[in-house]
Amino acid sequence: MALWLFKATATKASLECTTNLAEFDHFLCKAGNDLKKKGTMTQRAINVDQVQVGDVLHCYYILKSVPYWNSAYEVIKSEKHPHPEWFGEPVEGTALYTLADDAFLKRRDREGAYDVDPVAGAYTGWPLVRVGKAMKYDGKRFPGQATLVRYEEPATTSV
């Protein structure tokens, strides 16, 4: 089991939408592929293919450098989700799933902030189960524009 840090911001969906999806619908929307700036090429979203079923995502929603949400979730298989019928096929090489029924997502995401994965042709994300509170947020763990990083224990020095 690996630990991951996931940072959401207002550049996509609102705090309310993101947290309600995770807390009540047990789902974190994440495209496995991103369009490059001109919208003609795709690339695998950074670190998405490294997250596995059983890994724990420590999630934060950041507004003006302040964390407003800090919960931890285990990534689960779709059949373990309270609503397995919402999910379609797994996204190859990842623990993400396509959504077969995106009505719950659209109910939460009224502004249409989330994008369909350009390769999968559907909304994608991780089915989740809450496992507690996330570790304390440290913005220095997210280099550049990174939103998903593997947690590495700080190195200890021996004397």
- pLDDT 10s digits, 47-91: 999 999 999 999 999 999 899 999 999 999 999 999 999 999 999
pLDDT at 149 over 60: yes
For 2-20, what is the mean pLDDT? 95
Amino acid 152: pLDDT: 87
Averaged confidence pLDDT in the chain: 92
Amino acid 45: pLDDT: 86
Helix H segments across the chain?
15-25, 103-108
For 24-31, what is the mean pLDDT? 96
- pLDDT tens figures, 90-143: 999 999 999 999 999 999 999 999 999 999 999 999 999 999 999 999 999 999
What is the Cα Rg of the chain in Å? Answer: 15
Amino acid 157: pLDDT: 62
Which residue ranges make up each domain of the chain? Answer: 3-150
Q: Please state the pTM of the whole predicted model.
A: 0.91
**Tokens 């797994």 label which residue?**
90
Return all residues near 19 (Cβ < 8 A) that are at least 6 apart: 61, 69, 71
Tell me the pLDDT band of 36, cut-offs 50, 70 and 90.
low
Asked if residues 23 and 41 have their Cβ atoms less than 8 Å apart, the reply is no
Cα–Cα distance measured from residue 21 to residue 121, given in angstroms and rounded to the nearest whole number: 20
